[in-house]
Structure 1
Amino acid sequence: MRNDPLAWLVSLDGVGSAYAATRDGIDALLRDRGLRRTSPQDTAESLLRGAHASAVLEGSASSLAEVTQSGGDEIAQDAVRLSAELLGLAPRLATSPLQVFARLHAVAAVSAVPPDRLGRPRDPDAAARLRGLADVLLAPTEVPALVVAALVHAELRTVAPFGSHNGLVARAAERLVLVARGVDEKSLIVPEAGHLTLRAEYESNLRGYRDGGRAGVHAWLLYAAQAYAAGAEASPLRG
């Protein structure tokens, strides 16, 4: 596709093949289990596992059992609240990504941020970066949705456009891209758990994305392909 703003990402060495292999693995999981009927409970369990993993990456000390039974600590409660609203935002991502980003922050941060700051970028530079990311999501592209999800995650996490809860927002937006762009319409894989499994690599590659220029972007994308594969292994469909 001419003028595809993301085409250069899949031209990076190894990125195309890594994401093709990861997508094949995800498709095999969803196709194989699709021979049996999946239930809303499977989706709910995936979202809960993802909320717990995302909360831990954000500093929560709650276990999955604690989150399941009582909601866990404040960070975990923020993540669970966000996961409960997440899938309802999927239809809007293709037309109003800025509104979706704002809503993700408003839901995650409602217990900790004054109402007039909910969903609002922290400064004009952050607002401009959010608009740029929204423009990327609105532009036609032939780049795999998994690559788009990885880019959205890294941009939101490293730009940190909101005054708080940027990690929760970034990981929620990543899952939302996978749902909205048809990779995992029922949200049965757990990308957040993949990042938690590879936590040291996750954190170092985010720093590389922020500070390392083209090489940092390249390393993040290769890392994220591995994280999505690990997220598929963490699906409730695996038992």
Structure 2
Amino acid sequence: MTPDPLAPLLALADVEPAFTAARERVDAALRHRSLRRKGGQVAAEVSLRASVASAALEDHRYDLEEVRAGTVTDPVLQGALRVAEGLGGLVDLWPRAPRQVLARLHMLAANGVVPDDALGRLQSGADRIDALAGLVAGNDRTPPMLLAAIVHAELITLRPFAGPSGVVARAAARLTLIGRGFDPRGLVGVEAGHLAREPEYVGSAGAYATGTPDGVRSWLRHYAAAVSAGADEIAAIGDEVLAPAGG
């Protein structure tokens, strides 16, 4: 069996314990009683909040209730919503044709933001995108959270597409978690976790881009923390869904 090329990253100080703790938080959250009776409602709310968070991380910030009411027409926010809606149809294709999926995600995210002839087209980093696609395609060796973290970090480092590349990066990471069975129902809103720790998100992404072991370690520890925060959001939403009306 071909060895996992990312395995050495788990040996960086404090990374594996952080990933283990995040996995345990997700497992606990996925046992929340709301998911047995109102899982669809929880999933829809997670998706909405994740979309709003992803747009906010592109500095397009809107009140959740205004978005819920349908009054926000900002194209970046609308793109994030389209991406969230389209994820389910891309899960199976992602490990088979990663570059095709990235192009599709960009078309969903950036429609109305960039010129039509830029949609789905790389503007930089083609060689590194090829390497990333090779890492994603058919990879059943790398632990899902580690692979998702690297997918996310590579894409926000490269920003290979015009416009809201960050929305694409966060969606590709989410596809990895879903498709590899870490979060098969798409309930972990990692985007909200990134937004809740936004200064750390930005700082650790910049550290990753340096390529140093400490920089990569900083990013991986942040990613685990964001996953944990996304897990906590499941429980919070679940409690809201189960709360008596007017309570």
TM-score normalized with structure 1 length: 0.93
Partner of 2:94: 93
Return the alpha-carbon distance in structure 2 between the equivalents of residues 87 and 148 of structure 1.
Answer: 19
Query: Is 1:209–1:220's contact at 8 Å kept on the other side of the alignment?
Result: yes
User: Does 2:220 align with 1:209?
Assistant: no
Query: Is 1:7–1:142's contact at 8 Å kept on the other side of the alignment?
Result: no
**Structure 1 residue 111 displacement after superposition:** 1.0
SS at match of 2:92: helix
**Structure 1 residue 51 displacement after superposition:** 0.2
Partner of 1:180: 179
Return the alpha-carbon distance in structure 1 between the equivalents of residues 82 and 146 of structure 2.
Answer: 26
Superposed structure 1 runs of 4+ greater than 6 Å apart = none
The size of the alignment, in residue pairs, is 237
Return the alpha-carbon distance in structure 2 between the equivalents of residues 52 and 35 of structure 1.
Answer: 22
Query: Is 2:96–2:138's contact at 8 Å kept on the other side of the alignment?
Result: no
Partner of 2:188: 189
1:13-59 alpha-carbon deviations (Å, 9 max, x no partner): 22112111110110111134387234322222111100000111111
SS at match of 1:37: helix
**Structure 1 residue 160 displacement after superposition:** 0.5
SS at match of 2:33: helix
1:31–1:42 CA distance, 2 compared to 1 (3 A): same
Partner of 2:112: 111
Return the alpha-carbon distance in structure 2 between the equivalents of residues 114 and 194 of structure 1.
Answer: 31
Gaps of 5+ in 1: none
Q: CA RMSD in A?
A: 1.7
Query: Is 1:198–1:227's contact at 8 Å kept on the other side of the alignment?
Result: yes
Query: Is 2:122–2:161's contact at 8 Å kept on the other side of the alignment?
Result: yes
Return the alpha-carbon distance in structure 1 between the equivalents of residues 55 and 35 of structure 2.
Answer: 33
Partner of 2:123: 122
**What pairs up with 1:1-239 in 2 under 5 angstroms?**
2-33=2-33, 36-70=36-70, 72=72, 73-123=74-124, 126-138=125-137, 140-235=139-234, 236-239=237-240
**Structure 1 residue 115 displacement after superposition:** 2.4
**Structure 1 residue 138 displacement after superposition:** 1.8
Task: Choose 109-118 or 146-155, whichever is displaced more.
Answer: 109-118
Partner of 2:245: none
Q: Which amino acid aligns with 2:65?
A: A
**Structure 1 residue 212 displacement after superposition:** 4.7
Return the alpha-carbon distance in structure 1 between the equivalents of residues 142 and 70 of structure 2.
Answer: 41
1:69–1:35 CA distance, 2 compared to 1 (3 A): closer
1:185-210 alpha-carbon deviations (Å, 9 max, x no partner): 11112100000000010000011011
Q: Name the one with the larger helix percent.
A: 1
Return the alpha-carbon distance in structure 2 between the equivalents of residues 45 and 184 of structure 1.
Answer: 16
Return the alpha-carbon distance in structure 2 between the equivalents of residues 36 and 175 of structure 1.
Answer: 22
Gaps of 5+ in 2: 241-247
1:89-143 alpha-carbon deviations (Å, 9 max, x no partner): 11111111111111000111111222222111103xx111111111011254533
1:38–1:94 CA distance, 2 compared to 1 (3 A): farther
Query: Is 1:71–1:80's contact at 8 Å kept on the other side of the alignment?
Result: no
Q: Which amino acid aligns with 1:93?
A: W
1:32–1:70 CA distance, 2 compared to 1 (3 A): closer
Q: Which amino acid aligns with 2:89?
A: G
SS at match of 1:185: coil
1:206-237 alpha-carbon deviations (Å, 9 max, x no partner): 11011252211111001111111011112233
| % identical aligned pairs | 42
Partner of 2:243: none
